[in-house]
Chains A and B, each alone.
Chain A
Amino acid sequence: MSESIRRTGSETMPQHVAEVAPRVRKGNLYAQLMRNPEWFTVGLIVVTCLVVGSLNPRFFQFATLFDMLHSATTVSLFALGTLVVLASGGIDVSFTAIAALTMYSITKAVFAWWPECPFALILLAGAIGGVVLGVINGMLVHRLKAPSLIVTIGTQYLYRGLLLTFVGTQFFMNIPHSMDTFGRLPLFFYHTPDGLRAVLPVSVLALVIAAVVTWWLLNRTMMGRGVYAMGGSLAIAERLGYNLRAIHLFVFGYTGLLAGVAGILHVSTNRLANPFDLVGTELDVIAAVILGGARITGGTGTVVGTLLGVVLVTLINSVLILVGVPSTWQKVIIGAFILVAGTLFALGRRQ
């Protein structure tokens, strides 16, 4: 009774094979959106700009853009780190605590021991501090095989507790000279018609550099591919020979690095070192990355999408005031956007 099968089997030619090959889903709007969720973010940004701009034409000037870039720098660095963690299938809520611990400790140390320390060294110290704290996260996640959410909730409390207990609780209203100078350094400035000086601070360069480096790491190195592989499936990635330990350490170490740098920049541009700062804004950052199209379940997300997500959130946070909407509405609008985006992506996936 296997005669018929045998006959067909031996006569099957290669070109026959291609017949079962590509039946790729194509075409419809949802499928397109699933592949490029960034377009949805772009749409929301455009709509928000048009609405705000039509109500208050002053919105369309460089000063607004400068302001937004300024306030987006710290969030962007956090968001790029969060993107890497989400892509690897994990989640990190401790990065704000890492930033707070490194920025405050370093500022205090510089004041106490070396007030003339050059800014480059301070930044480097922030980066190293961030990497160390991040690698601790990575080791714990890998060793304990525990969900990274649990581990980083733990370390968030730990890092913040250490900061407030052992380092200090007082604000520094003035900061080391080199940090202050860096914070005031303009990359570009001009005078607005009403005589104000609109400044684009140099720290914005950090945003650009971090975005390019993160893009390159994720898309051009084996480590970056490993991050997505692990985010696709931990078990499969391991079976295929990816070194999960290295990937875990990289992912959390890199997030820590960005957080450390973000902390130092935050102090420099705000000219204030507040140990109670930053912690509590994790969800805003994660919301921005999700609005940028990354899935909370891991394995996806792009640098461009993440930056767009940050733009959208920053836009809502900073421009609503221009059109006279009370700032408490920011949360309502961001919440609504997330629900709309979530619904749309969920529907797309079900198709």
Chain B
Amino acid sequence: MPKTDMTTTTPLLEVVDIHKRFTGVYALRGVSLAFERGQIYHLLGENGCGKSTLIKIISGAQPPDEGELVIEGVRHSKLSPLESLSAGIETVYQDLSLLPNMSVAENVALTSELAEHAGRLARTFDRRALAQTAARALEAVGLPGDANFQKTLIEQLPLATRQLVAIARAIASEAKFVIMDEPTTSLTQKEVDNLIAVLARLRADGVAVLFVSHKLDECYAIGGEVIVLRDGQKMAQGPIENYTKAQISELMTGKHLSTERYRAQGEAGATQVVLDVQGLGRKGQFADVSFKLHKGEILGVTGLLDSGRNELARALAGVAPADMGTVTLDGMRVRLHSPADAKAQRIGYVPEDRLNEGLFLDKPIRDNVVTAMIASLRDRFGQIDRKRAQELAERTVKDLQIATPDVDKPVQSLSGGNQQRVLIGRWLAIDPRVLILHGPTVGVDVGSKDIIYRIMQRLSKEGIGIILISDDLPELLQNSDRILMMKKGRVANEYRADRLNEADLYHALLSEAA
């Protein structure tokens, strides 16, 4: 796509020699970048490379220690959130930053209204203008702009729609520069395609987009320039087609990564069935799901967001119990009516939303690791044996290569990949028979992905049956023995992972026929 040259040759936004330290540790070390109108930039880098800090500085959430920001030739030593918004810089945060209790229209249009009037609150607003702004922005991202949809509260919308609403908000005002922080992590392939179409339209309107993602395939599909950060420094910038995936991975991690299968050929494992699910269902969500999981097998499960894959995972973990069918573990029928039941049967569940459903973020790594097996750490007085807890946590940290100097650190001090390993470690502590991994590498960087995959393979060799629920198709193909495809709440098909390529699986995912 040609760069739209608007009357001037100055870049839309420049960051010049930005430095940022947090309690002595460098987050950014002299990063300089220039952004042109109508271009898409992919900001890539492992967790902790300084991506989020850079975004926060541009959006005005944090001031830089050194360096400056130049917006259309005007120099600023720092920006406030309102200044950044007034300059046409909009951010779609990873958490979307939508107000759940307010309507779609208000979420889309009130922020720009606020920015236009320098944040003044003591005044009335023009409701008709608000509705018009909202309608225009909603239609631009392909959502309905009618009054009914505008009045809907955010908390009533599914995640994918919220995503689009957040983007609509970003372009509701005269946005010139839109930052999207991992906008695709919660989307299925089909929804990602929609997003890509929206991006193309933004670009055609001369808007610059800074796109942060861990999914390299998407970056190639979107096209544009790639910017790679590592350890707070810029490693590369240029058209994405000039780099291969391997090159980008290498720039990001500083080491060479393989993209081939982690699962050894024909590693179906022992023939002993560990988990036998027959006719499992939950009213309105999924029905008639039957499969067998063997000892040491990795069974992939995929499907679109409404396919019932998430609900199946939650039913097996006892979170939202099934109301039909049977589950047999090592030949014994079991009831899974609560997470405690699942734990007692030694079924481990690593949820997709690890921040909200899995981890005690402000508690030490040690407490997070031992929480599932806390009962067995009691000494004769019913007190927790701290020494054993410490040993167990330290062993887990070593075993799973969790990067931390000390198990006393709160879990939120870790990167996404390390947090995920803490969660896996928690379940290893109960010596699981079955481990359910739900989107284990969502929001995790390339290096950490590699480690998690290797851990997964090792655990399966130790005889644990693993159910891998994911919409990351390469991940499924690289790691599992078989893949179940779910559609509309039922198992539509089963594939051998080693006899399939990604294009076929993607096609099967999107095809309507069950």
A116 to chain B, nearest CB (A): 36
Residue of A nearest to B503 (CB): A4
Query: Is the beta-carbon distance between B102 and A2 smaller than 8 angstroms?
Result: no
Q: Confirm or deny: A228 has a beta carbon within 8 angstroms of a beta carbon on chain B.
A: yes
User: Chain B's nearest CB lies how many Å from the CB of A75?
Assistant: 26
Question: Which residues in A have their C-beta under 8 angstroms from that of B97?
Answer: 236, 239-240
- Contact in complex: B503, A240 (CB < 8 Å): no
Residues of B within 8 A of A225 (CB): 102, 106, 110, 125
Q: Which of A12, A21, A242 contacts B121 (CB 8 A)?
A: A242
Chain A residue numbers with a CB within 8 Å of B85 are 241
Given A9-B222, A239-B93, CB of A1 within 8 Å of CB of B156: no
Q: Are B120 and A23 in contact (CB under 8 A)?
A: no
- Write the chain B residue with the least CB distance to A238: B81
A56 proximal to B (CB < 8 A): no
Contact call A2/B161, Cβ cutoff below 8 A: no
* A233-B503 contact given A20-B191, A21-B144, CB 8 Å threshold: no
Q: Are A222 and B125 in contact (CB under 8 A)?
A: yes
User: A8 vs B511: C-alpha distance in the bound complex, in angstroms?
Assistant: 13
Q: In the complex the two chains form, is A12's CB within 8 Å of B197's CB?
A: yes
Asked if B218 contacts A24 (CB within 8 A), the reply is: no
Q: With an 8 A cutoff between CB atoms, is B100 at the interface? A: yes
> How many angstroms from the CA of A43 to the CA of B124 in the assembled complex?
34
B190→A20 contact, CB < 8 A: yes
- The distance in angstroms between the C-alpha atoms of A123 and B106, with both chains bound, is 37
Please report the C-alpha to C-alpha distance between residue A226 and residue B194 in the assembled complex, in whole angstroms. 32
Beta-carbon contacts under 8 Å, B190-211 to A: 190-194, 196-198, 200-201
Q: Which residues of B contact A8 (CB under 8 A)?
A: 193, 510
Number of residues on chain B facing chain A (CB within 8 A):
62
Asked if A3 contacts B197 (CB within 8 A), the reply is no
Instruction: Give the complex CA separation of A222 and B116 in angstroms.
Output: 12
User: Does B506 reach chain A (CB closer than 8 Å)?
Assistant: yes
* Contact across chains for A5 and B125 when beta carbons are under 8 A apart: no
Would you give the shortest CB distance from A299 to chain B, in whole angstroms? Answer: 3
Residues on A with C-beta less than 8 A from B81 are 238-241
Interface extent on A, as a size class? Answer: 35 or more
Find B160's partner among A2, A9, A20 (CB 8 Å cutoff).
A20
Which residues of B (108-159) have their CB < 8 Å from a CB of A? Answer: 110-111, 113-115, 117, 119-125, 141-144, 149, 152-153, 156-158
Residue numbers in B under 8 Å from A20 (CB-CB): 160-161, 164, 190-191, 194
Within 8 A of B (CB), among A283-315: 298-300
Residues of B close to A298: CB separation below 8 A = 101
Task: Check A25 for interface membership: any CB of B closer than 8 A.
Answer: yes
B513 at the interface (CB under 8 A from A): no
Whether, in the assembled complex, B220 has its beta carbon less than 8 Å from a beta carbon of chain A, the answer is yes
A2 touches B220 (CB 8 A): yes
* The residue from A17, A31, A222, A236 contacting B114, defined by CB atoms under 8 A apart: A222
Instruction: Using A9-B196, A16-B194 as known contacts, say yes or no to A1 and B101 having CB atoms under 8 A apart.
Output: no
A-B contact pairs, 6 of them (CB 8 A): A20-B194, A22-B144, A222-B122, A232-B102, A236-B95, A299-B102
Which A residues are closer than 8 A to B by beta carbons?
Answer: 1-6, 8-10, 12-25, 31, 35, 220-223, 225-226, 228-229, 231-233, 236-243, 246-247, 250, 298-300
Q: A228-B99, A299-B100 are in contact. List 15 more A-B contacts (CB 8 A).
A: A4-B503, A5-B192, A9-B222, A14-B142, A19-B190, A23-B158, A220-B124, A220-B125, A221-B122, A222-B122, A233-B100, A236-B97, A243-B119, A247-B121, A250-B121
Q: B residues within 8 Å of A by Cβ? A: 61, 81-82, 85, 93, 95, 97-102, 106, 110-111, 113-115, 117, 119-125, 141-144, 149, 152-153, 156-158, 160-161, 164, 189-194, 196-198, 200-201, 217-218, 220-222, 474, 501-503, 506-507, 510
